[in-house]
């Protein structure tokens, strides 16, 4: 039998009162690797994770994790997964070692086995030196590392990370990124939600963009950039008059502008002939443009394209 997907959602729906949060979301996440859910606030990311973790019941639709139905097989799902939410679920008055040992005991391990498991995780997440300190003395980065360690006490095959690096400084975020990569290389399937597009670009093999409670697009970062994030030619003018003339000439082809800095951008395919043609069109006497840059598409461009207006699910997405 082929291996079931880590996550399979079909026509998932959820409302809170009159507010529709998930409106027919369908998504398939294969086993292995890091997968990201992106979307603006209110897109349904956290609600989706809570449903997958059996913490919230869907109103309709089919939801399976590692082949198990989240409603009919809740216990099997819970034995398969782990969840690290937006806020560290730790006891501040216990030490790091005590937190992990307690959780290991709750999974059914004996006292010696629980202490051994806690020690292994503390070493893995570079927390051995702080193992005997109360968690309330930990920095934000240390707390998030301990929370991630706690989510691995039961050796899950699928782990959900909901905004795992929110509030962390750059060094702490990069450290956590390395640990998430290690989890994936060890065979754990990681599904993370994040507001940091750089995080998704760096970590995720596949990215799903949610908008309005539905799947707007799905694919690798490179694929999404190719389909939704056009390259742009960014131009800076010497004077305001020249800038105004160029902006009027380009009209609705302008995809970004900053009048105060006399800057505007227009889509391009990045080729030398097209860039040269655009420069000749907007600055025929070659005295107005003082600087130009061809910028590659980013996930920011993809995100803004897919979420700036009502977006229908991408017909190229399998299963939608």
Give the mean pLDDT of 38-55: 93
Q: Which domain holds residue 133?
A: 7-226
Mean predicted lDDT score pLDDT of the chain:
89
Rounded mean pLDDT of 149-175? 86
CATH at 128: 3.40.50.300
What pLDDT, on a 0 to 100 scale, did the predictor assign at position 255? 83
pLDDT of 110 reads 95
User: In this model, does residue 313 exceed pLDDT 50?
Assistant: no
Residue 193 lies inside a defined structural domain of this protein: yes
Q: How far apart are CA 12 and CA 246, in angstroms?
A: 47
**179 and 67 both lie in a single domain:** yes
pLDDT of residue 87: 66
Does 85 score more than 90 pLDDT? Answer: no
pLDDT at residue 121, rounded to an integer = 92
One domain for residues 38 and 183: yes
Q: pLDDT-based confidence at 270, cuts 50/70/90?
A: confident
Which pLDDT does position 317 carry in this prediction? 44
Picking from 13-17, 35-39, 126-130, 305-309, which range would have the lowest pLDDT averaged per residue? Answer: 305-309
Predicted confidence at residue 88, as pLDDT, reads 65
Residue 310 lies in a domain: no
Q: Reduced to 3 states, what is the DSSP secondary structure of residue 47?
A: helix
- Which pLDDT score, from 0 to 100, does residue 20 have? 95
**Spatial distance between the Cα atoms of 208 and 299, rounded to a whole number of angstroms:** 12
Residue 310 has pLDDT above 50, yes or no: no
Instruction: Indicate whether 232 pLDDT > 90.
Output: no
Same domain, 176 and 274: no
pLDDT in the model for residue 312: 47
């Amino acid at each position: 039998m082929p291996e079931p997907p880590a996550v399979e959602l079909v026509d998932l729906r959820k409302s809170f009162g009159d507010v529709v949060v998930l409106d027919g979301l369908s998504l398939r996440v294969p086993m292995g690797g890091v997968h990201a859910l992106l979307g603006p606030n209110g897109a349904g990311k956290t609600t989706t994770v809570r449903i997958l973790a059996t913490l919230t019941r869907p109103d309709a639709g089919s939801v399976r994790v590692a082949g198990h139905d989240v409603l009919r097989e809740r216990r099997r799902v819970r034995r398969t997964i782990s969840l690290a939410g937006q806020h560290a679920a730790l006891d501040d008055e216990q030490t790091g070692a005590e937190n992990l040992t307690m959780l290991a005991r709750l999974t059914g391990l004996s006292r010696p086995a629980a202490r051994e498991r806690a020690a292994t995780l503390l070493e893995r997440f570079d927390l051995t030196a702080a193992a005997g300190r109360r968690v309330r003395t930990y920095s934000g980065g240390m707390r998030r590392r301990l929370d991630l360690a706690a989510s691995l006490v039961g050796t899950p095959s699928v782990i959900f990370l909901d905004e795992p690096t929110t509030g962390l400084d750059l060094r702490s975020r990069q450290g956590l990124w390395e640990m998430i990569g290690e989890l994936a290389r060890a065979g754990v399937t990681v599904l993370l939600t994040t507001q940091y597009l750089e995080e998704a670009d760096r970590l995720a093999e596949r990215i799903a963009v949610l908008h309005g409670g539905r799947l707007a697009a799905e694919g690798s970062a490179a694929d999404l950039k190719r389909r939704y994030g056009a390259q742009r030619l960014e131009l800076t003018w010497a004077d305001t008059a020249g800038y105004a003339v160029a902006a009027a000439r380009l009209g609705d082809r302008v995809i970004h502008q900053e009048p105060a800095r006399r800057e505007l951008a227009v889509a391009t395919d990045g080729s030398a002939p097209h860039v040269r043609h655009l420069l000749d069109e907007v600055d025929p006497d070659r005295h107005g443009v003082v600087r130009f840059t061809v910028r590659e598409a980013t996930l920011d461009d993809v995100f803004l394209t897919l979420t700036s207006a009502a977006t229908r699910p991408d017909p190229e997405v399998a299963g939608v």
